[in-house]
Amino acid sequence: MDVYGHGLGAETFPPVDLNGKLVTLEVSSSTNDAGENNDQQISISLIDFNSRVTLRDVTFLIKAEHGNQFLFEKEFQAKNGFVVFNFVSENTNSIEIIEEQSGNFFGSLIGLDSRLIHVKGPKLSEGGLYKFNISILTADGYSKKLEKPIIFQSGISIPQTKTHFITDPNFGMQEIQSITYYDEISNFQYNPNSREISFSMPFDWTIENINQTSVVHEELVIPKGFGDLLVSEFSMYINNVKLPDNLVTIDDFFSEGRIVHFIINQNELLNVFNENKIKDRMDFLVKPTSDEILLSSVTENGQFRILVSTEPQNLKSNSKAKINFNIMDIFLKDKPITANYDFLVTQNGKIIYQHSGTSTDFREEFNTLEFTTPKDISGIVKLSFENLNGNELARTSIPIVIDRIGNQDNEISIPEWVRNNAAWWAKGDIGDGTFIQGIEYLIKNDIIIIPKTQQEASEIREIPPWIKNNAAWWAEGQIDDKTFVQGLQFLIQKGILRV
């Protein structure tokens, strides 16, 4: 009988007694017109539990919040016991409420003209958690005021997608998306050394809220070109409490990237609550399950999964490299199989190494290939498996790095991909603030290494044109790293770059 959906797209409450009649409250959500706009609609209806008919002449007192933002607290009368809120994003300084009587999608479903209330304000239709404190003041007659209002606490979540741009020292600028089916994500960070992703989300750690929350569902969309995050398994921690690994699933069948799902059920929420008493938020940490990195990729036809590791884990140029791999059949529950394959190591279309062979079906032993990396090769290379069992669509690539960039003793060290950022800035494709923030991050995290430079007193607040000219020339290879770095040092001295 107890049906809750707190944090989901719909919620039905257990029936309660109303003057000898069992009634229930239903709250549900929908996009108003997905083809035209992103407006979000949430309906609230008071229903006779047995007949499934809405009650008449209902007065709702509704307090509404979006995330941590208070929206309104107001009474609404509904002739047919049915109210629809249409949340509209507008660039306003305050919340505006406009009521109208309208035949609409929700009303047409049950043959009624429902009460439609437009709620307009900043970022209201971007998704996230909408919280409602709903008091029933009258039912079956506006004059029949209840001696004691019936109160419901509801939380309806609409998926919210955010794009996070992170800069990796080896793979350059990467775009990771977070999709939350609960509440808004903030403080998104990535640690390139440990390959860890962290972020936070508001959450009410009370037993009452946990008992109403069925699941908390989060997703990360990771580009397939970001080799460091193509690991075969991830572990998740919430507030420093490790969750079971079976709550994390990886979908590699998405064409542009892989989707990592985290579905935290009510029992696990209770476990976290019992071990950690943080009251107002979830702090997520997502990282590879093991320090021994095992990379994974699925072929374009969705039939085979390739698992790969390298020895050593960080390959060097002009050194021996060992590739360990298994070819598994997804339709046989990832069972290793015997399959013909073509294997290539390439960089920018140039073949570094190639081999054709037949894999083994031993689960306990990996297939191995050995070769020497050329002395003039560093940076990103692709490990490609093609023509598995003669099928040209049975192919996939895994990007890895030779000569990984880390802390170095060189006085000046700048990854090659930074030239692209400099070129975009010089052309005006990215703004001054974005470029400066990016360079600050790269220097602070030892991705760009330059001589230590002291800040001095200065009244200069704008970037001189000659520095942007230097960036353009450096991006085209017309000036050397040292000359470009002199411009960065100038910005540090003048306090424009703060490192």
Q: Give the start-to-end residue ranges of the domains of the chain.
A: 10-157, 160-288, 295-402, 418-493
- Mean pLDDT, residues 113-123: 82
Taking residue 56's Cβ as centre, other Cβ atoms within 10 Å add up to: 15
Q: Which of 389-393, 428-432, 463-467 has the highest mean predicted lDDT (pLDDT)?
A: 389-393
Distance, in Å, from the CA atom of 162 to the CA atom of 188, rounded to the nearest integer, reads: 10
End-to-end CA distance of the chain: 59
Q: How far apart are CA 170 and CA 442, in angstroms?
A: 12
C-alpha distance from residue 361 to each of 218, 266, 300, 308, 365 (Å): 35, 40, 21, 15, 9
Q: Tell me, what's the pLDDT at 406?
A: 58
Are residues 435 and 425 in contact, defined by beta-carbon separation less than 8 angstroms? yes
299 pLDDT exceeds 60? yes
Alpha carbon separation from 302 to 297, 356, 393, 394, 396 (Å, rounded): 10, 21, 9, 8, 10
- What's residue 264's pLDDT? 93
Q: Quick one: what percent of the chain has pLDDT higher than 90? A: 50
Q: Higher confidence at residue 127 or residue 65?
A: 65
What is the average per-residue pLDDT within 222-240? 94
The reported pLDDT for the residue numbered 113 is 53
Q: How far apart are CA 389 and CA 394, in angstroms?
A: 8
Q: C-alpha 354: how far from its chain's center?
A: 36
Residue 262 has pLDDT above 80, yes or no: yes
292 pLDDT above the threshold of 70: yes
Structural element, H or E, at residue 380: strand 379-386
What is the per-residue pLDDT for 244?
A: 93
**Measured distance CA(110)–CA(73) in Å, rounded:** 27
Contact indicator for 127, 159 with CB cutoff of 8 Å: yes
* Cβ-contact 227, 171 below 8 angstroms: yes
Q: Could you tell me which of 400, 402, 398 has the C-alpha nearest to residue 319? A: 402
Domain 10-157 has CATH 2.60.40: yes
Does the model's pTM come out above 0.85?
no
Taking a C-beta distance cutoff of 8 angstroms, is the pair 264, 219 a contact? no
To the nearest whole number, what is the mean pLDDT of the chain?
87
Q: What is the pLDDT of residue 258?
A: 94
Query: Taking a C-beta distance cutoff of 8 angstroms, is the pair 6, 209 a contact?
Result: yes
Stretch 306-322: mean pLDDT, rounded?
91
Of 115, 58, 113, nearest to 81 by C-alpha is 58
How high is the pLDDT of residue 444? 80
Which stretches does DSSP call E strand in 122-171? 128-138, 145-158, 160-168
Residues 6+ apart with CB under 8 A from 76: 59, 60, 62, 83, 99, 115, 117
Domain 295-402: which CATH class?
A: mainly beta
Q: What is the pLDDT of residue 353?
A: 96
The partner residues of 17 in beta bridges, in order of sequence, read 22
Beta bridge partners of 189: 198
Most confident of 124-133, 385-394, 428-437: 385-394
SS3 35: coil
pLDDT at 448: 82
